[in-house]
Structure 1
Amino acid sequence: MAALSDYLENALIAHLFRNTNYTRPANIYVALYTAAPNDAGGGTEVSGGSYARQAVATGASSGWDAESGGATANTATVTFPTATANWGTVTHVGLFDAVTGGNLLMHGALSASQAVNNGNIFRFNAGDLDIALQ
């Protein structure tokens, strides 16, 4: 996953240089997109057909590997509900601080787009959500 959102960039700058606290969310919510978001948000998040963002816990013993070399990855499979309608072709992923609404934290393109049709289940296997800060 390549890009921090403007929201997270500003929150981290304020935290480091302006003595403004940033409270990390208890969960990171994984979102799917059929059109690319950008640092300001936007894009087209999947909706309908039983779609819902999926939670991955944060914290020392959480759903993420220990940080190493400025990177981490999910430690368990992230499985979305069975699609009850066509979701379209998923091209991007976003990480949010809330199950609905909230703030986009990071976003990136999938290594391969995937069509999600009625009856399909979309998942990220452990290690598929690679987060690297460079």
Structure 2
Amino acid sequence: MPILTDYGRNLLARALCGRNPSLPTTLYVALGTGGGNTGITGEPVGNGYARQRISFTGNGGQRNTEVVRFVFNAAAGTLNHVGLYDALSGGNALAYGLLAQSAAITGPGTVTIPAEAFAVTGE
């Protein structure tokens, strides 16, 4: 994780060229059934699901500082992708990738991303 989206690549290019893009100050992680250059697809709607705020730490590569927990009140299908966004809903997708393990949500339950398991590197 992650692969930069088109938006994420353009934001990085503007930053590297000193064009002072407006960088997000709050980031959110989302789950979905697929992913691509525009972000994740198949993001659940309802059933208690909501994107979760995520914060990072590190001197080079960045890792999430706290556990991220998604709560579901009902079935939501099999989720296998994760995305990084600049808004709680809508907004711009910055990056996406595969979950370490698919999560089959067949009823009420949770999906947990442990602290330091979500890594963002320059590779």
State how far apart, in whole Å, the 2-side matches of 1:40 and 1:64 are. Answer: 22
1:53 to 51, 54, 72: 51
Aligned in 2, Cα 1:108/1:42: closer, same or farther, shift over 3 Å?
closer
Query: How many Å apart are 1:99 and its aligned residue?
Result: 0.3
| Matching residue of 1:24 | 23
Cα deviation code 1:26-53 (max 9, x no counterpart): 211000012x111123521122201100
When normalised by structure 1's length, the TM-score is: 0.84
SS where residue 56 of structure 2 aligns? coil
| Matching residue of 1:106 | 95
| Matching residue of 2:79 | 90
When normalised by structure 2's length, the TM-score is: 0.90
Cα deviation code 1:46-83 (max 9, x no counterpart): 22201100012xxxxxx312132xx11111101113x1
CA RMSD of aligned residues (A): 1.5
Contact persistence 2:84–2:96 (CA under 8 A): yes
Structure 1 unaligned segments of length 5 or more: list them. 57-62
| Matching residue of 1:14 | 14
Identical counterparts, % of pairs: 35
Deviation >3 Å, runs of 4+: none
Q: Where is the strand percentage greater, Structure 1 or Structure 2?
A: 2
